[in-house]
Structure 1
Amino acid sequence: MAEFTTVARPYAKAAFEHAMAANALQNWSEMVGFAAAVVADEQMQALLSSPHLTHEQQRDAMLQVCEGKLDAQGQNFIKLLSENHRLLALPQISEIFEHLKAEFEKTIDANVMSASELNAEQQENLKQKLATKLGRQVNINVSVDPTLLGGLVIEAEDMVIDGSVRGKLTKLSETLKV
């Protein structure tokens, strides 16, 4: 939901700065991620969007579902979001928070689709080459897509490297059409 991104950014930055100051980045990541997953649930969205419930009732429901997963600061964050009618922005807050965390930790997640299974040595080799190219530590998620015919497709944030046979055939076909 793009409309929540502008609203979410200041909350994500504030949560990130607080987590940094408290040296609790991983804990905050887990808390915000859990709360975002709760809000993403259809039933919770219906409850949080209900005009029949007060914001206090919505806040209390959210805190009850998240009981045991949020520390005192996490609960205060939920209360603040509730007071400002921003609970539905939690999935975007989490996404922005994780992006800030990845930038700080100099990490990036890359999705790798391969035509066949990659062994551990190939995966490690790929991680090292991507880390060199991107200047960050790379976490790769490998999946197999036999429709690629051969090669790899790598997606990392807004970058896509299509080294698949299917991709090369598509480019060749487009070139021949011109």
Structure 2
Amino acid sequence: MEQVIAKKYARALFKAAKESNNIEKYYKELIDIEEILKNKDVYKIFVNRSIYLKQKMNFIDEILNGFDKEVVNFIKLIISKHRELNFDEIFDEYTKMYMDYNGIINVTLVSAHPLDANVTNNIRNRLESNFKKKVNINHMIDQSILGGLKIIIGNKVIDGTIKGKLDTLLKNLEKAV
């Protein structure tokens, strides 16, 4: 249910951004707002429903001074509809729309050890060639995989790890016994 709500709000903001040719600007401002909300004191005020709405709106005007008026009004709408706790999901949904609109996919590479920049670039180039999209790579280290590489693209996982192969082998052995 929360994701449906988040999509609805994100879609509305994305539509407004597209109509005003501000998709990139709104995205960057949402990133900035997400950073601002990482401040615990700011976040406490942002989500506190016992603060009068007018005071909260004034607070938003103060902390978002210099931001695009539409983005500020969007944040105020979220607050007035008591959807503050949905901001992260709304931001995530807007990000998905932004990435899709710009032909960008996020890929997570998981390896047991740091990857050489040449290896990462080679993987990026192959994925961009395969998907015909720009690829953002997030690299994670997980020593439990022992070796090899796991590639995560959305909800798809390509497991080329030693741990994955050992797990598969173990399952096959258990079935055989």
TM-score (norm 1): 0.85
Cα deviation 1:65-119 (Å, max 9, x = unaligned) = 3333x22222222222233222332211110000001111111111111223322
- Cα distance in 2 between the residues matched to 1:5 and 1:60: 28
- The answer to whether 1:104 aligns with 2:101 is yes
RMSD of aligned alpha carbons: 2.1
For residue 140 of structure 1, report the CA deviation from its aligned partner. 0.8
Q: Matched residue pairs, number? A: 175
Output one character per residue of 1:103-148: Cα deviation in whole Å (capped at 9) or x when no partner.
1111111111122332222112111222234342211122333332
SS of residue matched to 2:106? strand
Query: Aligned AA for 2:151?
Result: I
Q: Give the aligned residue type for 2:167.
A: T
Where does residue 28 of structure 2 map in the other structure? 30
**3-state SS in 1 of match to 2:113:** coil
CA 1:59–1:88: 2 relative to 1, 3 Å? farther
What one-letter code is carried by the residue in structure 2 that aligns with 1:64? E
- Alignment correspondent of 1:17: 15
In 2, the alpha carbon distance for the partners of 1:96 and 1:31 equals 15
Alignment CA distance shift 1:51-1:18 (3 Å):
closer
Kindly indicate whether the alpha-carbon contact (under 8 Å) linking 1:56 and 1:82 is maintained by their aligned counterparts in 2: no
**What SS does the aligned partner of 2:152 have?**
strand
Q: Is the 8 A contact 1:32 1:90 kept in 2?
A: no
Match of 2:65 among 47, 64, 67: 67
Aligned to 2:136: 139
Offset of residue 51 of structure 1 = 4.3
1:55 aligned to 2:61?
no
Once the two structures are TM-superposed, the CA of residue 38 in structure 1 deviates from its matched residue by 4.0
2:164 alignment partner, one of 153, 162, 167: 167
Sequence identity percentage: 26
What is the rounded CA distance, in whole Å, between the counterparts of 1:37 and 1:59 in structure 2? 19
How many angstroms apart in 2 are the aligned matches of 1:163 and 1:54?
Answer: 54
| Corresponding residue SS for 1:60 | helix
What letter matches 2:26 in structure 1? W
Contact 1:37 1:91 in 2 (8 A): no
Distance in 1 (alpha carbons) for counterparts of 2:170 and 2:52: 59
How far apart, CA to CA, are the structure 1 residues paired with 2:104 and 2:48?
A: 39
Contiguous gaps of at least 5 residues in structure 1:
none
d(CA) in 1 for partners of 2:87, 2:3: 10
For the 8 Å contact 1:113–1:142, the answer to whether it is kept is yes
Cα distance, 1:133–1:10 mapped onto 2, change above 3 Å: same
